[in-house]
Amino acid sequence: MTGNERDIDNFIYREASRSGQKPEKLVKELTNNREQLRAVQQNIIFDKAVDFLVSKATVSTVQAKA
């Protein structure tokens, strides 16, 4: 699993909307701060992994033994 450019763009627009900043400002911040960009990429990969696991999960209901 990887975070591609489209995923990063989506993150930037969501974060800009949430924080009330312009997307261009966030792009500039990420461009100047490689550690922050790496953290964003790791978060995207983590979110994708969680989404994948949730999509494959099954839930079973088992009666409790008295």
Look up residue 52 and give its amino acid.
F
Using CB atoms within 10 Å of the CB of residue 6, give its burial: 0 to 12 exposed, 13 to 18 middle, 19+ buried: exposed
Flag whether the pTM goes above 0.75: no
Domain residues of the chain, as ranges?
A: 5-56
Condensed to tens digits (0 to 9), the pLDDT of residues 3-54 reads: 788 999 999 999 999 999 999 999 999 999 999 999 999 999 999 999 999 9
By CB neighbour count within 10 A (0-12 exposed, 13-18 middle, 19+ buried), where does 30 fall? Answer: buried
| Residue 39 vs residues 17, 43, 44: alpha-carbon distances, Å | 19, 6, 9
